[in-house]
Amino acid sequence: MNNTTTKDRLLFAGLFALALVLGIVSDRKEQPKTAEDFQPSPFVEVMVAEEGTGVKLIRSDEWAEQYPNQYATYIMNDENSEVVDYIAENPYIKTLYEGFGFAVSYGSARGHTYVIEDLTETGRPHKLANCFTCKTSSFTEAVLNDGVSAYAMAFEDMEAQVTDAFGCFHCHANEPGVLYVTHPYVAAALGDDLTKVNAANLTCAQCHTEYYFDPATKETTVTYHGLSQFSPDDSLAYQNTLLDAEGNLFCDWVDADTGVRKLKVQHPEFETYMGEGSVHASQFTCADCHMGKTTAEDGTVFTNHYWVSPLDSPEIMANSCSLCHQDLEGQVRAIQTATRERENEIGYALEQLDKDLAAAIEAGTISDEDLENARMAYRNAQFFWDYVFVENSEGAHNSRLTNHCLDKAQEYLDEANACIH
Ligand code: HEC
Ligand code: HEC
Ligand code: HEC
Ligand code: HEC
């Protein structure tokens, strides 16, 4: 009896060990996943679209049959239609952006499929086709085929050529599933560092980046140069060395009542997320947090093309974030509230600076040297404030870099005030 039991036990133990090795013990499978189970996103090298080949884009709707899941989720972006009026929410920006289009009309971002509508309906003035850079694949096609001259085309001429809005072509060229950089300025700016950045970050970086229009060629240009000159500080230092066609310090517009040559920052999500201080930059790509994987009814697992907050994606939260985070939503809202408070405090202080500087100029109580220094410090302060104000995660992508920018804005603000008072 005893012998048999021991033998049975041994046999059972042996089978159990084997089962463990094979990983088929259901008990173990049902354990909740933890940080130990986390696997960083694999590295994928990006493809670069060739220029001057006469490529003809395949429209998004032409892929609907072949890639029904990706297409259906892409079309879901239509549902993301809410817009917040930033001017009503933050009245001081009317002063900070005065003389520039954003003081007239400035709504929050919404779904990708709305980009053309949002562009043609903003109250902001349009001049050239370069406005279409981040809005339509048809413009990407024109740049690839016609080169730099496409950027200087008249807005209306380009508008007449639009066949696809925000299309598959931006990220996949004509090969859905393969990740491409189709906007040449991103590949040019990163140079040899291009192959060091995960492709799923680069596809987004084509638009979610700080850029300016080259004063001579009107080409869309990003302000970083490789990964070693990638920070907001580098971006400002670079823009402070640029000259416009008349040989003056480069600016996006001149503020009429203070003479400050102002810069407008545009959504630097790529630089912020990839920048110094980012917790997750080596683990997650933009797509891991904003696309994720979904299982279709027939069991097919595919990449979800509905671009939203990770907090609004039950799959991303369950399969990934919750391995380590207990209350991610609480953490994100706390970061954003703190960011918004500092943003507003500095925003109102900049508005006051604007009034004080204009008054000092009007009264003739400021020396030429102080005026020059005050203008430069004001320009720099607004740049660092704007870098945070227009970054769409409001601190969540990289709270440390965000606070660094707000610290710099405050420093330059104090410097400008010291020149006046
Ligand atoms: C061709 C340019 C372009 C590319 C490429 C691009 N975006 Fe966007 N994205 C935009 C624009 C423009 C908006 C704002 C749309 C609007 O409000 O009209 C936007 C908005 C968004 C939003 C906000 C939607 C909302 O509800 O506020 C998210 C999230 C987003 N993009 C994520 C991504 C991710 C992730 C990638 C890469 C996989 C990416 N985008 C690639 C241009 C682009
Ligand atoms: C803003 C960039 C972007 C746009 C626009 C875009 N995709 Fe994707 N697509 C991606 C990313 C990122 C992946 C994930 C690749 C990976 O995980 O390696 C992907 C993956 C895919 C895949 C591979 C299979 C899968 O689901 O992972 C297919 C097929 C695909 N996309 C089709 C399309 C189609 C069709 C369109 C247009 C309707 C489109 N994509 C538009 C970024 C984009
Ligand atoms: C580690 C996860 C993570 C990664 C990676 C990430 N983001 Fe985000 N992103 C967030 C969170 C969290 C928010 C704040 C969402 C909210 O407010 O609900 C956000 C917000 C945004 C928004 C504003 C969306 C909205 O609903 O208003 C955009 C646009 C965006 N991210 C683009 C990007 C781009 C482009 C990249 C890559 C360069 C990127 N993100 C990488 C987590 C991430
Ligand atoms: C392997 C563990 C791990 C996973 C998985 C993980 N995080 Fe984190 N996350 C951390 C750690 C550690 C920190 C830094 C400490 C902290 O702030 O909680 C952090 C911080 C953050 C922050 C604050 C960043 C900042 O700059 O202050 C955000 C936002 C965030 N994570 C979003 C996400 C999202 C979205 C996901 C899911 C896609 C995710 N995390 C998945 C470990 C993880």
pLDDT band at 26 (very low <50, low <70, confident <90, very high): very low
Indicate the burial class of 356 (C-beta count within 10 angstroms; 0-12, 13-18, 19 or more).
middle
**Where in the chain are the domains?**
286-323
Phi-psi sector, 178: left (phi>0), alpha (psi -120 to 50), beta: beta
Q: Which atom of ligand 4 is nearest to the CA of 321?
A: 37
Whole-number Cα distances in Å, 104 to 90, 128, 236, 260, 393: 13, 19, 25, 19, 23
Mean pLDDT of the chain: 88
In whole angstroms, give the CA distance from residue 329 to residue 317. 10
On whether the CB atoms of residues 128 and 35 are closer than 8 A, the answer is no
Q: Which atom of ligand 2 is nearest to the CA of 170?
A: 5
**d(CA 203, ligand 2 centre) in Å:** 10
Query: Does ligand 2 have an atom closer than 6 angstroms to the CB of 114?
Result: no
Please give the pLDDT value at position 119: 61
In whole angstroms, give the CA distance from residue 354 to residue 404. 23
Q: Which atom of ligand 1 is nearest to the CA of 308?
A: 29
Please give the pLDDT value at position 114: 58
Please give the pLDDT value at position 22: 43
Q: Does 106 have pLDDT greater than 80?
A: no
Phi-psi sector, 277: left (phi>0), alpha (psi -120 to 50), beta: left
Q: Provide the greatest CA pair distance for the chain.
A: 109
Please give the pLDDT value at position 109: 63
**d(CA 78, ligand 3 centre) in Å:** 19
Ligand nearest to the CA of 279: 4
Tokens matching residue 34: 């933890």
**d(CA 256, ligand 2 centre) in Å:** 45
Please give the pLDDT value at position 131: 87
Q: Which atom of ligand 2 is nearest to the CA of 167?
A: 5
Q: What is the DSSP letter of 284?
A: -
Q: Does 303 have pLDDT greater than 60?
A: yes
Collect all residues with Cβ–Cβ distance below 8 Å to 156 and sequence separation of at least 6: none
Which pTM was predicted?
A: 0.91
**d(CA 200, ligand 2 centre) in Å:** 9
Please give the pLDDT value at position 395: 98
Q: What is the DSSP letter of 241?
A: T
On whether the CB atoms of residues 173 and 180 are closer than 8 A, the answer is yes
Lowest-confidence segment of 85-99, 161-175, 178-192, 332-346 by average pLDDT: 85-99
- Looking at the DSSP assignment, which residues form a beta bridge with residue 48? 181
pLDDT band at 281 (very low <50, low <70, confident <90, very high): very high
In whole angstroms, give the CA distance from residue 274 to residue 235. 14
Lowest-confidence segment of 33-42, 43-52, 198-207, 355-364 by average pLDDT: 33-42
Please give the pLDDT value at position 113: 60
Tokens matching residue 344: 């507003």
On whether the CB atoms of residues 282 and 43 are closer than 8 A, the answer is no
Q: Which residue has the CA at smallest separation from atom 23 of ligand 3? A: 392
